[in-house]
């Protein structure tokens, strides 16, 4: 996806360059010389290439993204993941890929990353709790990995599972969720080019609290669909169970597409609180499919989006 831009302006072009450089230097802890390639496609750090799918909006700073998190395996408070996720040992991480695939097996992170070009995807991110951020993920299209394992013709859904490690995850002692955290997508949703597996953000490896070493990002759906720290990906012919739907099926559906016209039973979804805006910041209106309708509305043609929430 490198090279061709849907928009001429990237957020970095609209931000005073000195400020942008400054921010990146602080983040990467590097000197200005390292940013010689700024006008080119490659960034520093992981060397992720820019993507035509990135939004032109300015990302939230790294500290917002890493300090205000939902990752219940480390506690239900927004700051618990930042405090506790260092306990997760991601060394030697393995992902099992099974079910209706030609080549089932165990993949190390090296296997997964070998032969993949990492892209920067700056996406809007909208939690079902009505807050939002803009996040510069680093990752690759899930479709690329699925092509490598060979999806069989009977497959209709993709199921995902998070690691379950009671010794490293203090939050799983409370039965808030029927652990492990599981999620799922319809196969065509999984194959959409917007759907990525992210292994980093801000061109650095993924922080544990954001779902290291590999997590899903589905930007047109509420945040809980974007499952963290994945250890299993299964291709199936049946709609897989999903954690929040199992926990409270009346409030959380399988699809959970961002939709400002369908309220959560306990609050409005018409607008969202932009993290970092301060308590006096105005809420901004929520966009259908979180603003990604052009890319994904076709997936739901003929479906009653109020019913299949
Ligand atoms: N395994 C797991 N994945 C998860 C969650 C979780 O609690 N456990 N929370 C979800 C929710 S509700 C949101 S909003 C996003 C938050 O991602 P972030 O903390 O990186 O912004 O992760 C999602 N993925
Ligand atoms: Mo969320």
What is the pLDDT at residue 278? 78
Average confidence (pLDDT) over 132-144 = 98
6 belongs to a structural domain: no
Predicted confidence band of residue 279 (pLDDT cuts 50, 70, 90) = confident
What is the pLDDT at residue 282? 79
Instruction: Tell whether the model's pLDDT for residue 59 goes beyond 90.
Output: yes
Predicted confidence band of residue 281 (pLDDT cuts 50, 70, 90) = confident
Instruction: Tell whether the model's pLDDT for residue 305 goes beyond 70.
Output: yes
Nearest ligand to the CA atom of 207: 1
Instruction: Tell whether the model's pLDDT for residue 22 goes beyond 90.
Output: no
Pocket test for ligand 1, best of 228, 252, 273, 275 (most atoms within 8 A of CB): 228
Say which residue, 30 or 107, is predicted with more confidence.
107
Instruction: Tell whether the model's pLDDT for residue 255 goes beyond 70.
Output: yes
Question: Whose CA is closest to atom 1 on ligand 1?
Answer: 228
Tens-place pLDDT, residues 199-245:
999 999 999 999 999 999 999 999 999 999 999 999 999 999 999 99
Question: Whose CA is closest to atom 24 on ligand 1?
Answer: 227
69 belongs to a structural domain: yes
293 belongs to a structural domain: yes
Instruction: Tell whether the model's pLDDT for residue 16 goes beyond 80.
Output: no
CA of 154 relative to ligand 2 center, distance in Å: 31
What are residue 191's phi and psi, to 5 degrees? -85, -10
Say which residue, 48 or 9, is predicted with more confidence.
48
| Tally of domains in the chain | 1
261 belongs to a structural domain: yes
Instruction: Write out the residue range of the structural domain in which residue 204 sits.
Output: 11-300
What is the pLDDT at residue 236? 98
128 belongs to a structural domain: yes
Average confidence (pLDDT) over 42-55 = 86
122 belongs to a structural domain: yes
Average confidence (pLDDT) over 275-291 = 90
65/81 Cα distance (integer angstroms): 11
Instruction: Tell whether the model's pLDDT for residue 12 goes beyond 80.
Output: no
Residue environment code for 264-302, b if the CB has 16+ CB neighbours within 10 A, otherwise e: eeeeebeebbbbeeeeeeeeeebbbbbbbeeebeebbee
CA of 8 relative to ligand 1 center, distance in Å: 32
208 belongs to a structural domain: yes
Tens-place pLDDT, residues 103-133:
999 999 999 999 899 999 999 999 999 999 9
Predicted confidence band of residue 9 (pLDDT cuts 50, 70, 90) = very low
CA of 303 relative to ligand 1 center, distance in Å: 27
Q: What is the CATH number of the domain that holds 224?
A: 3.90.420.10
102: number of Cβ within 10 Å: 10
Average confidence (pLDDT) over 60-74 = 97
What string of H, E and C letters represents the secondary structure of 30-58? CCHHHHCCCCCCECCCCCCECCCCCCCCC
CA of 119 relative to ligand 1 center, distance in Å: 21
Residue 254: which of 137, 158, 172 has the closest Cα? 158
CA of 71 relative to ligand 1 center, distance in Å: 5
Determine contact, residues 233/160, Cβ cutoff 8 Å: yes
Pocket test for ligand 1, best of 76, 224, 233 (most atoms within 8 A of CB): 224
| Residue labelled with tokens 């061709």 | 4
What is the pLDDT at residue 15? 39
Average confidence (pLDDT) over 263-268 = 95
Mean pLDDT of all residues in the chain? 88
Instruction: Tell whether the model's pLDDT for residue 8 goes beyond 60.
Output: no
1 belongs to a structural domain: no
Residues with CB under 6 A from ligand 1: 69-73, 127, 162, 181, 210-211, 223-224, 226-228
């Amino acid at each position: 996806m490198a090279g061709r831009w849907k928009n001429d302006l990237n957020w970095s072009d609209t931000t005073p360059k000195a400020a942008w450089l400054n921010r990146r230097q602080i983040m990467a802890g590097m000197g200005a010389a390292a940013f010689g390639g700024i006008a080119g496609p490659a960034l520093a750090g992981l060397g992720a290439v820019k993507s035509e799918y990135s939004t032109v909006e300015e990302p939230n700073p790294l500290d917002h993204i890493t300090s205000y998190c939902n990752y219940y395996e480390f506690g239900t408070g927004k700051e618990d993941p930042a405090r506790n996720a260092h306990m997760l040992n991601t060394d030697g991480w393995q992902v099992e890929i099974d079910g209706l695939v030609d080549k089932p097996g165990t993949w190390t992170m090296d296997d997964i990353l070998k032969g993949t070009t990492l892209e920067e995807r700056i996406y809007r991110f909208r939690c079902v709790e009505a807050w939002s951020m803009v996040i510069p993920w680093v990752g690759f299209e899930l479709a690329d990995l699925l092509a490598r394992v060979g999806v069989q013709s009977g497959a209709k859904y993709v199921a995902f599972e998070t690691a379950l490690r009671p010794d490293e995850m203090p939050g799983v002692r409370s039965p808030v969720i029927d652990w492990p955290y599981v999620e799922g997508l319809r196969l065509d949703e999984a194959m959409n080019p917007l759907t990525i597996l992210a292994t980093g953000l801000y061109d650095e490896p993924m922080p544990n609290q954001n779902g290291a070493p590999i997590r899903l990002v589905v930007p047109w759906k509420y945040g809980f669909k974007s499952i963290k720290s994945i250890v299993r990906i299964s291709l199936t012919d049946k709609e897989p169970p999903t954690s929040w739907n199992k926990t409270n099926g009346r409030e959380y559906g399988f699809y959970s597409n961002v939709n400002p016209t369908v309220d959560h039973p306990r609050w409005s979804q018409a607008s969202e609180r932009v993290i970092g805006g301060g308590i006096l910041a105005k809420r901004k209106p929520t966009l259908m499919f979180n603003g990604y309708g052009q890319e994904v509305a076709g997936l739901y043609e003929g479906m009653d989006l109020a019913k299949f929430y």
